Amino acid sequence: MVRAFPVQIAPSMMCADVWQLAEQVRQLEQAGVDYLHFDVMDAHFVPNMPVGTVFLEQLRVHTEVPFDVHLMVDNNDFFVQLLAPIGVQSISVHAESAVHLDRTLGLIRSYGIKAGVALNPATPLSVLHYVTEQMDYVLIMTVNPGFAGQRMVPSAYRKIRDCRLFLEENGVEVPIQVDGNVSFDRIPHMVAAGADILVTGTSSVFHRDGTLLDNIARVRQAIAEGLRMRHHDSHQFA
């Protein structure tokens, strides 16, 4: 089975310029990005807390771009219930913090929201085995979670590729989202390995050397290169 998903762009709003937020959201919308990605943290699961749910609530009324939320928290169900009324379209939770992962994924889906499972770099793909029926996507962390601007972990490409193989071998048709140092140079290799949703931050969409529109154009060029590489190597994943 060959998985076929359009490669989508999800700018990380943790990397946006708060002073220029309204204008940047307008430009992202104009550029046709697929999601706005929000990292919601509790300063416990990860030692940071950049964006709260009130921020999402206030921004929701000003844009129709789908909201993709990545929870990095200890109490997932509590935050899911806060986020659902805001009108988010997808929520990923970490397998490492979810005491009852199947139950939490079911809770997310009960609100009509797509449910994702996020995996830290050292977490094995085997944790997905018995929740595949409840998940709508997998989030592969290519850095350790909590902060923007980190270096990609050495195993990242291998894990993306292994996740792609795991899904295909188990007959699971869901996209792979990647988050962490999704740079112009790394995007082709991530896409070739199997990435379908790119959480883009300071090393691509919000790169200081270009405008948002120019940077998104560069991201799309990198995606096209990655898809050519994937097609060339597709016999390895048939």
DSSP states of 27-62:
HHHHHT-S-EEEEEE-SSSSS-----HHHHHHHHTT
pLDDT at 90: 98
Q: Which of 39, 42, 68, 196 is catalytic?
A: 39
* pLDDT, mean of residues 18-43: 95
Q: Which of 42, 68, 136, 179 is catalytic?
A: 179
Of 78, 68, 84, the closest CA to residue 98 belongs to 78
Domains and CATH numbers, the chain: 8-237 (3.20.20.70)
- Quick check: is 39 catalytic? yes
* pLDDT, mean of residues 80-103: 97
pLDDT at 234: 65
* pLDDT, mean of residues 113-134: 97
User: H or E element: which one contains 156?
Assistant: helix 156-169
- Quick check: is 68 catalytic? no
Are the C-beta atoms of residues 159 and 198 closer than 8 Å to each other? no
pLDDT at 3: 60
* pLDDT, mean of residues 20-33: 96
| Residue carrying the six token digits 């290799």 | 189
Q: Please give the share of the chain, as a percent, with pLDDT higher than 90.
A: 86
pLDDT at 46: 83
Sign of CA dihedral 27, 30, 33, 34: positive
Confidence of residue 226 (pLDDT cuts 50, 70, 90): very high
**Looking at the predicted structure, is the pLDDT value of residue 2 above 70?**
no
Confidence of residue 200 (pLDDT cuts 50, 70, 90): very high
